[in-house]
Every structure is written in structure tokens, then in C-alpha cells.
Structure 1
């Protein structure tokens, strides 16, 4: 969740150095730095559940799973974001200690204050990553997972998952029950907005 921005231009190099010592995480967009606020219990639990499931699935595969504190670099548009969960299977990412440039999967757990940004400008930025095959949005309040998958023509297709079905992530050949993602999460009733 972004809570404020700086008032002057910061170079990408200054941003990366500052993040190494900052006690607050910031996302970086075109020379501006945006502080991030904390997340809800449901948000953190969903993120942790998915990280654990993916880490177990990908163990020994050469792919790496990151959560919360690893930045995704979108070099073409001069941006750095902190995805909730990110997977990279590209060996080139091994050379970057504080960010990854070639993720195949990015997951954002939605919050009321950032949902529009995650669906709009952030997704537009992520689509610039040629390596990205899937972008997943997860509601922490209802069993609702939306997987945007790049098809062979380079177009993004939506694969929605609801209720207690199976979620499939083709980028890492992973499937799990929706209930596994939402384990220990207190959900809203279906008839409540």
C-alpha cells in the first residue's frame, strides 16, 4: 500500500542504495519514491500461504520464490515494485541481489487502497517484462483469484478462480486448492460487499 511520495527526483541508483538502509519500504516510479504502509492479517496470511506452497513445489527446480521484500525491476519504464510473491526461473536474476528483472510469475494480494493501482498502472508496468507469463491478483477478503496469463500471441487472458476449486499457474506448472491459499484466513460472507 503506497502512503506518500517524495517531492524531488531520485535516481534509480540512489533509490536502491537508500532501500538497503531504510526501515520503510518504498516503491519507485520515474524518479519518485512512494512509502508503503503495512498490510492486514489476511493479506500477510494469504501471501505466506502461497509463498510456502510455491516454495515447496519449486524446491530443486532452479526457480526462486520471493515474497514481500524483493523488488521487481521494470527497466523499460524506470520502476521498482515490491510484489507480494514473485517467481523467477531465469539464471540472469542470480546476479541481482536486491531486485529481480526476469520474473515469470508475479502475485499481488489486493487491498482496498491499492486495488485500482494493482489492476491498472502497476499491471501495465509489469506487462513490459518480456519474461512475465502470469500476473495474479488475490482478494484477501473472499475466495477470489484472478490469473492473467500471456498467450502465444502475447495477449493477456483472464483465468478467474472462485470458491473451493483448484488454482492452476501455468508459468510454474503449479496447482493447489483454493482452500490452501486461504488457510487460516477469516473471509467475508458471500452476500456482504
Structure 2
């Protein structure tokens, strides 16, 4: 019998048009200073951060405000940082997540990259969702301080909450599909509550 074969596409993590090239970290820092666009540094490869839609920006801002308000009410020592904050990922990666939270003293390296976020939030887009759910998540797990990873869909009501358990494993502790749901995050000895209705405030879905 003849053997059935079929061609398989070669795996390409990033679209070619977003890959700037390979360079040192110092060269990348110079690029950031002179470029109009942010880029991530991933094991020597520089990849331009994908542009964001208005819905993406509204959802990210809503999440930041809701988190900040809840943290203030609970009087925690936590801060919410936006998408211009670099995060260092061991052993030598730098990302610009959509949002991150740090509690207590900030640990920042000489390149102004945060080293100890306890929460990272990514707003999903069609061009980044696959990476946010797979390779990037696996890389983020190398950050010792990270306890929560939250993915927010911009095109529908869908929020997935991953938490690092005491045994060191990551598990989905919340997978929400209704604006009546509430995201709950254990931080600094308190439970931060963020209603999905606030996350998707003024976002209209077709």
C-alpha cells in the first residue's frame, strides 16, 4: 500500500513582518530609544509589538482602573503598571505585557525592567492569542514572583485566570464568559475582586 503523506507548514512563532532581527540587549535598548514602536526581546531576536485596536485599549484601560480601585479599597501595597513597563523574564527575555501588578518593593534592573511582577495581564488579539496562550505563557512561568496570569479576550466576553498553586503547578482557577461574573485575585493577603462588567465597560460586540 502506498504511504499517505502530506506537507506540513513549518512552525513560525511570529509573522515575518514583525521580526526586526537579531541583536544584543544593548543594541535593542538603543533601538527602543529611537523607535516609534515598542518591541520585545526574545532570546536575541527582536520582535515588534503588535498594534492595538481601540477595543484592546479600552479593555486594558478598564482592567487597569478596576484593579487600581479594588487595590486602593483594600489598602494593599500593590501597584498597577501599564503597557510601557518592560518586564524581565529569565534567563534573558524582555516583554511589554499589557498590564502587570507588583506588590511591595519594586525590583528593577539597570534597563528599567521589572523583575518581580505578581500578576501579568494580556489582552488577546487575533495576531497574539496563540503565543499568549502557549510560548509566552511558558516563558512567563520562569518569573519566580509571578502568581497570576490573566488573559482577556477583546472580541467577546471571555477571561481566563491562571494561578500558580502551592506545589508550583499552574492551573485555571477561573474561566468566565458572562459580564455577571467576577474575577477574584488573591494578592497581598486580600482578595481583589474585578467584575467583568467593569472590564468590558463601553465595549460593544457585534
Range into which the TM-score falls when normalised by the shorter chain: 0.7 to 0.9
- The residue aligned with 2:196 is 178
- The residue aligned with 1:53 is 66
Higher helix share: 1
Higher mean C-alpha deviation, range 95-104 or range 43-52: 95-104
Aligned length: 186
TM-fit CA distance, 1:180: 0.6
TM-fit CA distance, 1:122: 0.3
Gaps of 5+ in 1: 189-193
- The residue aligned with 2:35 is 22
TM-fit CA distance, 1:165: 1.1
CA 1:20–1:68 in structure 2 vs 1: closer, same or farther (change >3 Å)?
same
| Structure with larger Rg | 2
- 1:131 paired residue among 145, 149, 156: 145
TM-fit CA distance, 1:187: 2.0
- 1:68 paired residue among 83, 86, 110: 83
- 2:123 paired residue among 109, 118, 126: 109
How many angstroms apart in 2 are the aligned matches of 1:157 and 1:61?
25
CA 1:64–1:180 in structure 2 vs 1: closer, same or farther (change >3 Å)?
same
1:167 aligns with 2:180: no
Find the residue that maps to 2:76 and give its secondary structure: coil
Find the residue that maps to 2:107 and give its secondary structure: helix
TM-fit CA distance, 1:62: 2.9
CA 1:62–1:20 in structure 2 vs 1: closer, same or farther (change >3 Å)?
farther
CA 1:176–1:92 in structure 2 vs 1: closer, same or farther (change >3 Å)?
closer
Gaps of 5+ in 2: 1-13
TM-fit CA distance, 1:133: 0.2
Spell out structure 1 runs of 4+ moving beyond 6 A.
none
How many angstroms apart in 1 are the aligned matches of 2:103 and 2:202?
29
Find the residue that maps to 2:80 and give its secondary structure: strand
Find the residue that maps to 1:141 and give its secondary structure: coil
How high is the TM-score relative to the length of structure 1?
Answer: 0.88
TM-fit CA distance, 1:87: 0.6
How many angstroms apart in 2 are the aligned matches of 1:53 and 1:85?
12
How high is the TM-score relative to the length of structure 2?
Answer: 0.83
Query: After superposition, where does 1:143-158 map in structure 2 within 5 Å?
Result: 143-158=157-172
